[in-house]
Structure 1
């Protein structure tokens, strides 16, 4: 049968010969063969919007043409998502930057703080902060390649520049002030206790990522209810551990730039957590044999 693929403006992109039992992924490959610029990862295929709706249902790569009730002569819409780049590539570069940028202010103060009298040695809080920061981002890179399972293979290439600007820029901002010759560290006991708790948060975050990775195989876009460990109480337990880790980091160094970085990251994680919590509650509504999503905090018990 023939399926017409159109752009949102109504222009015909291609007319494809397809079989009802072909997957949407295969349909994308056929469209790519006709339009070389439309790599399968750049395509978002949707059904035509129903009456009263502004957009149609997005076609799942793993489902077949028949699953969507498409018949000979029907049309679907294709949106070009633009140039794409692999998730793991973006994650590597956004995390690699902080590993390089942060130590510059620690090891090269005479070049980065001209006119300042450089102390003969660093404060213990500065030493531990460098170790914690480096461990955190090395852990993130390791998780990117050995732990995480991505539901999508790629993202828009613009995200590479946006994410690197955020992580690299905040790293320079935080490191500049924490390693400044005029930096005043908090009491040593405060630093030790705070970073001890932060280390526990790092381990907890890692274990949460292990549990999440077990929920899906690469390319699997389906949603499952995370269970075990902190997930028995919090929807986005990985964000909970991450947020508490940076709160502890802030207490351990007692620096305003660290607090601002923590607030910025915490806000973004809260937004993602609300979206995921809402999505899981909608999917697992207890109807038609579906599981009922258990009552849990979103990200930050006992407040949120």
Structure 2
């Protein structure tokens, strides 16, 4: 009897223990579920995974025609949309070696403007086939070469007239007549003017990396060299009878080559402690004002018509 009661008591304990364990597990499950639901709600709505876009490269066919004969020269295929006119010139030279990139001009239509090297094919293409007209621009020279030739010529030409070489003036007349003091001063001022130009071209001005035709070089040099010869002939003539704004012109050019910057924007120069820059109070481009003043002063000093026409 005693053993039976003992076994019943032990079974009762086991039953109570199992019920307590079950309740404990249920409580933990409820807590875990509650914690998980709060975590999901705090995370917000699920965002869909963005679809990966595969960029497809667009290729163009470039038909190259001769601008004069309208005949087809070649077709450049597989030209990407990011390719530039410079790249097209390189491909054209590779396909037809006689067309050098430095002397080739490309146009969308005959008689139209030449396309800049930085223009992309995508910006000018109306369809997958682009027609361009090619023109041989002739021999090309850099702008630095143009400016150096433009300013070196007048400097040397004037000195030849100043020395009164026999092939220009009569030797006996040149030896008999002494030079007027104004002649020496005019030579000095003229040389300073063009020496300043040469130094500014080499060390001050930021010359474009582009090129121009040999024809333009000849025309520019003919103008400067011709007027210099005309001026120098009369001023240095043995029968000739009778400073300036160069410093101001130089200082203004130095200021224009180094503009002020506010952030990424370049600001127009403003007057400073240098008195030559105070001309900015009156005009927007004092370098041209000083240039005109230089030639007017030179004309008044030498009293020659060519000097006035040059001004």
TM range (shorter): 0.5 to 0.7
Q: Distance in 1 between matches of 2:245 and 2:235?
A: 17
Q: CA-to-partner distance for each residue in 1:174-219, whole Å, 9 max, x for gaps?
A: 111111222222xxxxxxxxx2x3234432453365258x99xxxx
Higher relative contact order (CA 8 A, sep 6+): 1
Q: 1:4 aligns with which of 35, 41, 63?
A: 63
Give the TM-score normalised by the residue count of structure 1: 0.67
SS of corresponding position for 1:108: coil
Is 1:253 the counterpart of 2:291? The answer is: no
Q: CA-to-partner distance for each residue in 1:10-38, whole Å, 9 max, x for gaps?
A: 22222112111112211111112223332
SS of corresponding position for 1:169: helix
Q: In the TM superposition, what are the counterparts of 1:119-268 in structure 2 within 5 Å? A: 121-151=178-208, 153-185=210-242, 195=243, 197-204=244-251, 206-207=253-254, 210-211=257-258, 227-229=268-270, 237-262=286-311
Indicate the residue corresponding to 2:35 in structure 1: none
- Is the 1:209–1:238 Cα contact (8 Å) retained in structure 2? no
More displaced stretch, 128-137 vs 224-233:
224-233
Indicate the residue corresponding to 1:61 in structure 2: 117
Q: Distance in 2 between matches of 1:119 and 1:34?
A: 68
SS of corresponding position for 1:78: strand
CA RMSD of aligned residues (A): 3.1
Structure 2 residue ranges without an equivalent (≥5): 1-59, 271-278
Q: Which has the larger radius of gyration?
A: 2
Offset at residue 134 of structure 1 (A): 0.9
Q: 1:117 to 1:91 in 2, by over 3 A?
A: closer
Alignment size in residue pairs: 238
Give the TM-score normalised by the residue count of structure 2: 0.65
Q: 1:90 aligns with which of 132, 146, 152?
A: 146
Structure 1 residue ranges without an equivalent (≥5): 186-194, 216-223, 263-304
Q: 1:14 aligns with which of 56, 74, 93?
A: 74
More displaced stretch, 250-259 vs 7-16:
7-16
Q: Distance in 1 between matches of 2:75 and 2:86?
A: 16
- Is the 1:7–1:79 Cα contact (8 Å) retained in structure 2? yes
Q: Distance in 2 between matches of 1:226 and 1:241?
A: 22
Q: CA-to-partner distance for each residue in 1:270-304, whole Å, 9 max, x for gaps?
A: xxxxxxxxxxxxxxxxxxxxxxxxxxxxxxxxxxx
Q: CA-to-partner distance for each residue in 1:90-139, whole Å, 9 max, x for gaps?
A: 22222211121111222236664314254675333222211111111122
Is 1:24 the counterpart of 2:85? The answer is: yes
- Is the 2:141–2:214 Cα contact (8 Å) retained in structure 1? yes
Q: CA-to-partner distance for each residue in 1:213-255, whole Å, 9 max, x for gaps?
A: x99xxxxxxxx99822467875655433322221221122222
